């Protein structure tokens, strides 16, 4: 039965009061919460029966999920397919509530979840689970909840191309997404650095494109078999999460072109595949290449039932097209004025192929600049709210995925133990305070919802990925589900302690910090870690992993640090590492600040008060191995300066590589 997602939302809008968020320990906050003082609630302990309509397989599946979630994470044992009695949990079907809407009533007779669809029953069960988790063994208070989502697309992107996550970790991410009513997982399966999806027609995509050498010469890679993909898709579907596969084209194609060079152009060495950034690699536009990509999409569509298929479209560099006579001849034959128009034509071919098979293409908002994009293609807007509005006004459905606030590879707080990632802070409150409705435009397009991106260049481990996702993904979930009049940051923050306990129950590690304040613990005041040192220019700060995985903060465009220190007690110690400079910066590489060394070796220079002030030390770095392992250097200061001064430390080098990064400065 097709149910319009707007139906339940419109009904709730008539009764939702514009009051402050009720302090209910649930994220996302339901639209309507009514409590009755003095009314008896329900004690749902061991042996509580879960009652489902006879013959309702979908309701039985929801009951199975609730029973397992309560048993495995709360230590209680319910009875599925139990007989109706006081104190039972009842799942009921009712007409007219909307695609994901539900009602939850808790009283002395037990708990009743009513919904029209399986999705609604499931979301009622997730709300009940959160209430049970927050209350512990205490009875649940009497409450009436009516709920439906604000937007139909509430998602995360998981980048498995740059670094691979285990199937078990992906399933854990899906579990916690489902608890927060997040319902889309865009699975970024291909990029320059790796092809992660088994394609039977083209086995070299994973045999060659699935592997690379990391910056230190170690082989890295892997891929997901089609059986593993089917497992993940089924696991997600049981939890109301649709997996949206992403196959990047025409750019971000290096891994595929290493495997099948005839699909593109020469010019990028295999050794560059461990670099981060934007590559010149791009697919060709000849009929054999388009046919190969259609064959890839045939297997993708067979594995993923998602109506929407992501096709990338971002950051495509047109230089190889511009230099290829065959491409220029094809442009002339198609009467296309430039390479941007050719990308629009390419995208239209791919989107049309998907549409002919009953699917919808979705791609990044870079596609808009190319023109020629079919109106029924959806847009992931990452550049700005302005681009989202432009896409809406052009008649496209849009998912708001804006950088930086929805890019969850940024750190959550500027603290010394922040995990690797982009250094510009994106806190949970930054995410929460976005108002998506401000970008809604006219022209026939719809704002489908919001999505957070877990780009994994710097998230090398599964634990780092999970820690960067939460609790920002919880803030995103409330942004996409709860009406603006029901949301306020203080109310959300008051529910975070319960959120942290929820994450702990599901074995999700927490990143430090909540509101993004900079913290310098007393114990560290004689030790200035790179995260405490001040960048000289704040141009492109990255919290990069050393060889052992611990993060070093460095500006890759200007390797220069400052700190305030009490001098006069002897030499300082600088712990420094030579990291790989593996970045494709294109024209931006010209803006890297390079300071000339006095000799043939790279040097560490220390100056007093200013970066052009008196020179206190100049230490040759030739003995430091280029292996990403920090080495401690004892640095005597010339003239034995005394008192409180600013110190400026920078590396003087012959080129951008290696990337010198200070791990810590130890003051005597």
Dump the DSSP string for 57-97. HHHHHHHHHHHHHHHHHH----EETPPP-TTEEEEEE-SSS
Residues involved in catalysis: 191, 252, 315
User: Of 328, 323, 353, which Cα lies nearest the Cα of 341?
Assistant: 328
pLDDT of amino acid 133: 96
**Confidence band, pLDDT 50/70/90 cuts, at residue 442:** low
Q: Which helix (H) or strand (E) holds 651?
A: strand 643-652
pLDDT exceeds cutoff 50 at 17: no
Contact 144, 102 (CB under 8 A): no
**Confidence band, pLDDT 50/70/90 cuts, at residue 222:** very high
**Confidence band, pLDDT 50/70/90 cuts, at residue 15:** very low
Q: Which of 128-132, 418-422, 463-467 has the lowest mean pLDDT?
A: 418-422
- State phi, psi for 513 to the nearest 5 degrees: 90, 155
Q: How many CA within 13 A on the CB side of residue 358?
A: 6
Most confident of 81-85, 343-347, 412-416, 418-422: 343-347
Q: Side by side, which strands form the sheet with 527-529?
A: 527-529, 659-666, 572-579, 631-635
Q: d(Cα 159, Cα 346) in Å, to the nearest integer?
A: 24
Contact 579, 624 (CB under 8 A): no
Pairing of strands 308-312, 242-249: parallel
pLDDT of amino acid 444: 59
DSSP for 612-643 reads TS-EEEEEE-TTS-SSS--EEEEEPPTT---E
Give, as one character, the DSSP assignment of residue 548. Answer: T
**Confidence band, pLDDT 50/70/90 cuts, at residue 663:** very high
Q: d(Cα 464, Cα 475) in Å, to the nearest integer?
A: 19
Residue 584 neighbours by CB under 8 Å, 6+ apart: 272, 275, 276, 277, 278, 279
CA of 46: how far to CAs of 49, 285, 482, in Å?
9, 62, 32
* 577 class by beta-carbon count within 10 Å (0-12 exposed, 13-18 middle, 19+ buried): buried
User: Of 313, 290, 311, which Cα lies nearest the Cα of 359?
Assistant: 311
Contact 67, 183 (CB under 8 A): no
pTM: 0.91
User: What mean pLDDT value characterizes the chain?
Assistant: 91
User: Does residue 315 sit in helix, strand or coil?
Assistant: coil
| Mean pLDDT, residues 527-539 | 91
pLDDT of amino acid 515: 40
pLDDT of amino acid 635: 96
- State phi, psi for 293 to the nearest 5 degrees: -65, -35
Q: d(Cα 380, Cα 398) in Å, to the nearest integer?
A: 6
DSSP for 105-139 reads EEETTEEEEEESSHHHHHHHHHHHHHHHHHHTTSP
Domains of the chain: 5-147 (3.30.379.10), 153-505 (3.20.20.80), 522-666 (2.60.120.260)
Pairing of strands 276-277, 583-584: parallel
Q: What would the pLDDT profile of 590-634 be if each residue is shown by its tens digit?
A: 999 999 999 999 999 999 999 999 999 999 999 999 999 999 999
**Confidence band, pLDDT 50/70/90 cuts, at residue 525:** low
pLDDT exceeds cutoff 50 at 350: yes
pLDDT exceeds cutoff 50 at 524: no
């Amino acid at each position: 039965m097709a149910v319009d997602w707007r139906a339940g939302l419109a009904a709730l809008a008539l009764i939702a009061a514009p009051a402050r968020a009720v302090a209910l320990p649930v994220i996302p906050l339901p639209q309507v919460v009514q409590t009755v003082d003095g009314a008896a609630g329900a004690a749902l302990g061991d042996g509580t029966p879960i009652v489902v309509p006879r013959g309702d397989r979908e309701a039985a599946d929801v009951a199975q999920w609730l029973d397992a979630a309560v048993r495995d994470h709360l230590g209680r044992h319910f009875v599925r397919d139990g007989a109706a009695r006081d104190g039972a949990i009842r799942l009921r079907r009712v007409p007219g509530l909307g695609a994901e809407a539900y009602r939850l009533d808790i009283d002395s007779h037990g708990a009743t979840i009513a919904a029209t669809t399986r999705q609604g029953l499931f979301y009622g069960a997730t709300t009940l689970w959160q209430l049970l988790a927050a209350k512990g063994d205490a009875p649940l208070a009497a409450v009436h909840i009516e709920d439906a989502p604000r937007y139909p697309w509430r998602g995360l992107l998981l980048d498995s191309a740059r670094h691979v996550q285990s199937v078990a970790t992906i399933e854990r991410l899906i579990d916690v997404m489902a608890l927060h009513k997040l319902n889309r997982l865009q699975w970024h399966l291909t990029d320059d650095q790796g092809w992660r999806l088994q394609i039977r027609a083209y086995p070299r995509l994973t045999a060659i494109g699935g592997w690379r050498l990391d910056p230190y010469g170690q082989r890295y890679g892997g891929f997901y078999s089609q059986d593993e993909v089917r497992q993940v898709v089924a696991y997600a579907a049981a939890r109301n999460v649709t997996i949206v596969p992403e196959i990047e084209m025409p750019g971000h194609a290096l891994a595929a072109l290493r495997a099948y060079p005839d699909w593109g152009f020469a010019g990028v060495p295999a050794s560059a595949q461990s670099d981060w950034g934007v590559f010149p690699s791009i697919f060709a536009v000849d009929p054999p290449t388009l046919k190969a990509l259609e064959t890839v999409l045939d297997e993708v569509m067979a594995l993923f039932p998602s109506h929407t298929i992501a096709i990338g479209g971002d950051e495509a560099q047109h230089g190889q097209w511009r230099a290829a006579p065959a491409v220029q001849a094809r442009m002339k034959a198609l009467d296309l004025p430039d390479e941007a128009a050719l990308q629009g034509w390419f995208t239209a071919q791919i989107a049309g192929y998907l549409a002919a098979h009953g699917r919808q293409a979705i791609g990044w908002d870079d596609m808009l600049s190319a023109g020629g994009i079919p109106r029924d293609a959806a847009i992931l807007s990452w550049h700005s709210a302005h681009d989202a509005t432009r896409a809406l006004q052009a008649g496209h459905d849009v998912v708001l995925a804006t950088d930086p606030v929805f890019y969850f590879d940024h750190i959550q707080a500027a603290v010394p133990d922040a995990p690797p990632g982009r250094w510009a802070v994106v806190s949970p409150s930054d995410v929460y305070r976005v108002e998506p409705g401000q970008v809604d435009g006219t022209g026939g397009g719809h704002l489908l919802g919001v999505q957070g991106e877990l780009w994994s260049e710097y998230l090398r481990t599964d634990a780092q990925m999970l820690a960067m996702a939460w609790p920002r993904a919880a803030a995103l979930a409330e942004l996409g589900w709860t009406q603006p009049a029901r949301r306020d940051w203080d109310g959300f923050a008051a529910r975070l302690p319960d959120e942290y306990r929820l994450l702990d129950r599901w074995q999700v590690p927490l990143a430090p910090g909540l509101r993004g304040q900079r913290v310098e613990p007393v114990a560290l005041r004689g030790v200035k870690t790179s995260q405490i040192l001040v960048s000289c220019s704040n141009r492109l700060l990255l919290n990069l992993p050393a060889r052992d995985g611990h993060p070093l903060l460095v500006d890759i465009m200007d390797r220069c640090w400052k700190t305030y220190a009490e001098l006069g007690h002897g030499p300082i110690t600088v712990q420094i590492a030579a990291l790989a400079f593996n970045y494709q910066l294109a024209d931006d590489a010209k803006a890297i600040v390079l300071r000339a060394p006095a000799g043939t070796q790279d040097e560490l220079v220390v100056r007093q008060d200013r970066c052009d002030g008196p020179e206190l030390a100049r230490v040759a770095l030739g003995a430091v191995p280029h292996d990403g392992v920090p080495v401690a250097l004892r640095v005597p200061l010339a003239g034995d300066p005394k008192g409180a001064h600013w110190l400026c430390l920078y590396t003087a080098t012959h080129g951008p590589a290696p990337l010198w990064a200070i791990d810590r400065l130890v003051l005597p």
